[in-house]
Each structure stands twice: as structure tokens, then as C-alpha cells.
Structure 1
């Protein structure tokens, strides 16, 4: 039939025009939620629902090596055409999902737990319904109370009808309604959902750690690049200052430090002498040594700590900017 050929031709044209093509599953999505999800993609992606056979033919006829996407046609499939980064597309679709009540026979996406506490239900038949669903409930002070957290369905198991009814009455909505992005094709590579689903915080921390390790390696190995050059110059300046002070090389930068060092050494020698060998002025100076020493000890460390904090903040900002480009 002509309409079938037109459908396939439309999918084929969109496949050839777009750089990123995804396969989504629209099964069990109510019409209102589907319309809301379409709006969330508006301007960023095109969603086309079609029969599995039509999609397979369009993928096979495409001028791209994209036939592998046909292996991910599940449920009620649809194609997504976009220029967005696959990870950003996955995140948008995941964020658009909404909570939904459990239906009898639905597969639990995770352990379904009824939390302990007051249900606000007065004594009545629902007490028996809760207990039959495996929920430890009792009457306490005129209302039905769940005595302890109860796992009523394990992850991957179907939801029994009586449990689904009880969960709905308790207003516990353990299911998610939304488009499941099953696979995305980009540049001859197919990314599956398990690859696209990543922990952003963990990934960000990994990138930051890798960046900091790379910077440390560059600085310690003396490798000059745009990131390490300022740190290498600072390190060289500190090393030169330490060398000059320890070697008593007088310059406009080292004179005060060398004099301070000599003064401290003088006090150290004086502290070894008996009190009879000291005049009043020197005794007074010695008595103030603890306060001065504490003050002197703290003069250098804050600068080093501030430098380290600045380097870490710079690393985190650079890494976060890179990750932001990835996820949008």
C-alpha cells in the first residue's frame, strides 16, 4: 500500500538527515504523559511512532550503517531523531518520567517497600487487606498503623493484584511512566541504555580526580603545558626562595626572611644559656618566644593551603565545565 511506503520513506529520510538516531519504548504510557513528553522534546528532537517492520525496513534502506538498532525494537517502539548528545537525550527522557501507580502483573523496577507509620485509615476491612498483602499492620489509637517497613514486592517480580490495590489506596506509586531510551546510534556506534545511564556526581568526581592527577604528574615531571605552566612557575619561585634563604643569599626578597631566621637562631642559642648569662632585654625576648614561634609557624602554611585550595577549585571548575558540555 502507498501509505506504508510513505511511512517507510519518511523514516528513511529522517534517518539519513539526522546524526543521532534513537529507539525508544512507549509501552504503557498514557496519552497525557506522552503529550507532555513530546513537548519536553519540542525543538530538540523529532519523535516518530511506527510499526516494527517499518522501522526495520527504514534502517536497512538508510545510507548509514545503522541496521544494528533493529535489535532494540521492544514494546511499542518509536524513533527519535536529534542532533543532541546521546547522554543529554537520555537525561532529558529520564527527567521527563513521572510516578505512576502499580498495575497487577507489572514488573517491579526496584524493591517496593511500604514504610512504617500511620496510614490515616480508621479501623475497617483495609486492615485485613494490608495483612493479606504481607504488611504488618495493627490498630493503634483509633487508626491503622504499619508496624515496620515491609518489602511487598522484590525487584524484577510481578506485582500481585491485591498488592497493587493496597499500594494505590496507600498512595504509593512505585512505577515510572516515560519513554525508555533503549539504544542510540551516533557515528557508527550504538550506545545502549546501560552505557548512557551514568551517575553524574560520580562521573564529575572521577573527572576532577583524573584532572588533578594529571596536573600533579605534569608539575612533578616538569611537563609544561597551558595548565601546568603557572604552577611550575610558582613552584620554581618557591624553590628559588627556599634555596636563597637557606644559602643566606641576600636579595630584596630574602633579606627579611634571612634576618628573621638569624633572629630565631640567636634566640635558640640564648635559650641554651643559664639565666645568669642573659641580660634583661634578652630574657624578655626569650619569654615571648612561644607566642612568636606560633605566629611564625602559621605564616607560611596558610599561603600553601590557599594555593592548594585554589588549584583544587580551578581543577573542579574546569572539570565541571567539561561535564556540563557533555550533559547540557
Structure 2
């Protein structure tokens, strides 16, 4: 029996074996953060992922036991376990999984105790509230509210919570009343282990359009370099020959070399110069 599970009750040993079996069955094993996801939304996410991805919720200690038994390098996942972690398995590559998980994200109203990821701004303008106690609630929370024309209005745009600050109960109540949704909630990938390599979100969060445009630009620059350096390849040989032919024709015209393909250009150039001279003389 493995050292890590020797003192575990049978149901926990069985759970560890399931975790290990999935890790050996699928090409990718990852950890996702479930913190703050409502149960109903989590069930919907699991349904959306079903078929190509397995989401397994279990205790962090059992995850650590399982990966400890599997050994290096996959046991390195244990250093990324944090908070309410869950396991995710798929045969897709990490970039495809990251994009799929990003699609599970939705905006929700922040709760008391949450840390603002960015400045939360209350915009100037009318609200849907009728005059009443709501004005005092907004003002006490720091929102410049007033009654104008029989409506509750926000008199000026205000940074309600600064990035990095903890949201208070009063602020959370106002955000809920104003239906200001600033919190991204969904399956957040903590790390993915794939083909012997660990992938963190900072690596996977790429702008695909920008990435594609950079590849196109690099290909264009490589093509131009090959042509200008006269380095023939299958893709550039025609452009190099065309460039050389054009330069040879231009040289023939400048040097007044009467060769086939050049003489007509020489005559045409001389004719144009004669007409220009005639215009000046007359």
C-alpha cells in the first residue's frame, strides 16, 4: 500500500485512486478555483463542460495524497492548491481549456469582504428609484445622490471603491441596489499540467488576434528580408527574380543600353524629355 494513503479510511483511499486514474487517463490535469461560485451556476458550468472535460470536486488533502503518490513531476501541482480548489481533466491543450473556462465567466455584484479588482465607478445620471429612504442609503455609502424632477439621481460620477480596497457591507448593498456588476465569477484556472510542463494563467492569457497579426507581420518581414538580401527560397525566388529584372531594366535605361526590352523604354524616356524641352523653349 502506498505510503501516502496507509493511514486513510477506505473511502478516502478510493477517492485518491480515482484522482490518480483520471490523471493517467487524460492528457491534461489542472486545478481550478471554485471560490465564490454559486451552486446553481457551478452545476450549469459542469453541464457545459460535460463531454470533453471532467470537473472533480474533492478535498485538498486528498488531491495532495494522490499527486504525492504519482510523484514528480505532476506532484508539483500540490504547490498550486489554494482555497477551494477542484480538479479538471481534459485531452485538450492548455490554451483551448483556458479559452473554454474564460467563457464560463459572468459578471456578478460584489459582496462585502471582496477585494475590488479594479476601480468601481458609479456613473452620473438618473436611477430607477423613486424618492424615498434610498437617497439617504446612497449618501451614507458615499454616493452623491439627490432628488431632481421627482427622480433619484446621481449628481456626479464617482470612484466608489478603489482597486485593491475591501468592499464594505454598505458599499456592497449600494452596488446590489444599483445592479453594478463588477465581479468576474467562473471557473478560474490555477495551473495546468500538460505534456510534462506546467502552464499558469499568465502564459495562457494571450490575445489571439494580436498573436495572429504578429505572425503575419513576422512572415512579411521575413519575406522582405529574403528578397532584399537576395536569399532565394521557394516562397521568394519569383520576387527576387522580378526585382532583379526590374533593376536591370532601370540600369539599362539609365546607361542607354540598346537591348531588347529596354530600347522601347529608352525611346519613350527620350520622347518625354524632348516634349518637356520643347514646352520650355516655346
TM-score (norm 2): 0.88
The separation in 2 between residues aligned to 1:154 and 1:45, in whole angstroms, is: 37
- Give the match for residue 317 of structure 1: none
Q: CA deviation at 1:208?
A: 3.2
Q: CA deviation at 1:210?
A: 2.7
The separation in 1 between residues aligned to 2:90 and 2:236, in whole angstroms, is: 38
Q: Which has the higher helix share?
A: 1
Corresponding residue to 2:275 among 263, 267, 274: 267
1:266–1:41 distance in 2 versus 1, CA, 3 Å: same
TM-score (norm 1): 0.77
The 5 Å alignment of 1:285-304 reads none
Pairing 1:207–2:215 present? yes
Q: Deviations over 1:233-288 (max 9, x none)?
A: 33233223323433445566445433321211111322342x2xxxxxxxxxxxxx
The separation in 1 between residues aligned to 2:166 and 2:143, in whole angstroms, is: 17
Q: CA deviation at 1:51?
A: 0.9
The separation in 1 between residues aligned to 2:156 and 2:237, in whole angstroms, is: 60
- Give the match for residue 34 of structure 1: 42
The 5 Å alignment of 1:150-189 reads 150-189=158-197
1:134–1:253 distance in 2 versus 1, CA, 3 Å: farther
- Give the match for residue 224 of structure 1: 232
**1:16 and 1:62 in contact (8 A); partners too:** no
The 5 Å alignment of 1:94-105 reads 94-105=102-113
Q: Structure 1: where are the runs of 5+ without partners?
A: 276-328
The 5 Å alignment of 1:1-328 reads 1-62=9-70, 65-249=73-257, 253-273=261-281, 275=282
**1:15 and 1:62 in contact (8 A); partners too:** no
The separation in 2 between residues aligned to 1:42 and 1:257, in whole angstroms, is: 70
Q: Deviations over 1:70-111 (max 9, x none)?
A: 111122111111222212211111121111111111122211
Q: Structure 2: where are the runs of 5+ without partners?
A: 1-8
**1:18 and 1:81 in contact (8 A); partners too:** yes
The separation in 1 between residues aligned to 2:236 and 2:44, in whole angstroms, is: 48
1:202–1:135 distance in 2 versus 1, CA, 3 Å: farther
User: CA-atom RMSD, angstroms?
Assistant: 2.1
**1:47 and 1:78 in contact (8 A); partners too:** yes
**1:113 and 1:150 in contact (8 A); partners too:** yes
